Structures are given as C-alpha cells and as structure tokens.
Amino acid sequence: MCPAEAVQNVDRGWIIPIGGAEDKENDLTILSKFWELSGGKKAKILIIPTASQLADTGPRYVEIFERLGGKAMYIRVDEREDCFKDRIQGKLKRATGIFITGGNQLRLSTILGGTPVAKLIRSLNANGIHVAGTSAGAAIVTEHMIAGGKAGPTPTEDGATMAPGLGLTNKLIVDQHFRQRDRIGRLMTALSYNPFISGIGIDEDTAAFINPQGIFEVVGAGSITVVDPARLTHSSMHDARHRENLTLIGMTVHVLGEGAKYDINTREAFAE
C-alpha cells in the first residue's frame, strides 16, 4: 500500500505519531504544536476516539483543544457501519487536523480498516490535512501496524503480531510507550520480516513530527529510538523455531532526543 496520491502543488499533511501519555495539563507541548500546525485559533480539530472504550476520551480531548483555542469535536465511530455514514465523512472533510486517540489498536484496524473513513483520512492527509495519533493512534498511521507482542530486549520468533494500518506512510513501523514498556525486542521482531522500512520506538510524552518531505523532528520529554535494518545481512526469522530468540546482524540503532531529526527516505539521523 502506498500513501494516497496528492493533488499537484499541494504539500502533504504532517503525520504525528505520539508515544502515549502526552502532557495534557501543563505546557501541552505536543498537543499545542499539533494545534498550531492545524491552524491555531482557526483550527478545526476532529477527534476519533474509536480505540478507547472510555466514554470521556473524546470529550476530554475536545476540552483540551478548545482550551488552546479554535474549535474541536469528536465523532463516535464504534462500529464499521458508522464508517459508511455521510454525516461522519462530512465532519472529517471540514477538519484542519485529525487526532486519533489511544486505546486498543485492533479496534482501530478492525473498525476503520478498508472503510470509506479510512480511505478519506488517507486522501485528506495526502492533500494537506495533518493527522496525529497517540498510543494506539500512533501505531495505526503506518502501512504495517504492530498490533501486539512481547515486552523485553530480545527479538523472538513470536515477539510481534502485525496487522494492516492506515498507510499514511509506508516507510515506517511505529511502536509506542517504548522505553516505559521495554519494547525494543518486539520492534526488532517486526522489522525482521522485511527490512524495507525503518522502525521508530517513541517514548511516552514524545512525538515524531513528520513533515511533508519525510523528515521528522523529536518533540517532547523523552526520546525516539530508530532501528534501521537497511544494512541487515542476516535474519534467522525464516527458519526460527516457535518462541526462539532471533539472530539479526547489521541493524543500526539511533537514540534521538528532543530537536534531533531523522529522514525516513534517506535513513539519515541528524543531531539538530
């Protein structure tokens, strides 16, 4: 799956995966930067709380974005049939920024996947609308999504469960709550299937602000771990026994703090 085709002379929208547990009370560093990108006081933020089964998730983000200024609203998309409603699609089309909340990423993929809403989000992002997602919402922005897996430092044959994502980019796999939940092993497992893409593990209260040119900047209190398998010379995944530890030779790892950048096209990391 490739990202949707953009209209000529229109920059793609930014893609902002957030590692979860972003600051919602104090400086609002990540949320306010997304709000500014989406138009500031002219912003119209559309929140999709599908991944969460908590009734207050949507209203809470509405309150946060309206506290910053501009307008915000949430849409209830709890069943696949909701994704076929003209009313829901109409609200998406009026947004300057789309925010996908955390929760269970399999709820996102099974409810949104392949529907008019998913296709519309791809098209809107290709044509200039910014899309942010936190936690589960971060995982689904890419073509290949980590749906689950084991914690721990070692990649294993059964270390990651994969599912299709929205496909806003096909150059990355995203994992979230990264250091807090010790997920480097499952990110490496996911990358062992195909070294075409880079993996980014995003700490809590941290985000990758990916610009239309494919360069992201680290924003927030934590770090982003980039695992680049471009120079992988050996993977034992193809013949590993069930639950066996994997041998992966040649992976490159970068740890990037706030302000550091990474080009997902050239796979180059920059200190600032």
Catalytic residues: 135, 177, 204
Phi first, then psi, for residue 16 (nearest 5°) are -130, 90
Return the C-alpha torsion angle 35, 36, 39, 45, nearest 10: 0
Residues 212/190, Cβ–Cβ less than 8 Å: no
The b/e string for 49-61 (b: 16+ C-beta within 10 A; e otherwise) is bbbbeeeebbebb
Of the candidates 157, 228, 213, 207, the residue with the CA atom closest to the CA atom of residue 33: 207
List the structure tokens of 195. Answer: 């070294």
Q: In whole angstroms, what is the distance from residue 79 CA to residue 84 CA?
A: 10
Q: In whole angstroms, what is the distance from residue 71 CA to residue 93 CA?
A: 14
Q: List 17's β-bridge partners, or say none.
A: 133
Of the candidates 171, 175, 170, 172, the residue with the CA atom closest to the CA atom of residue 186: 175
- Give the angle 48-218-196 at the CA atoms, nearest 5°: 80
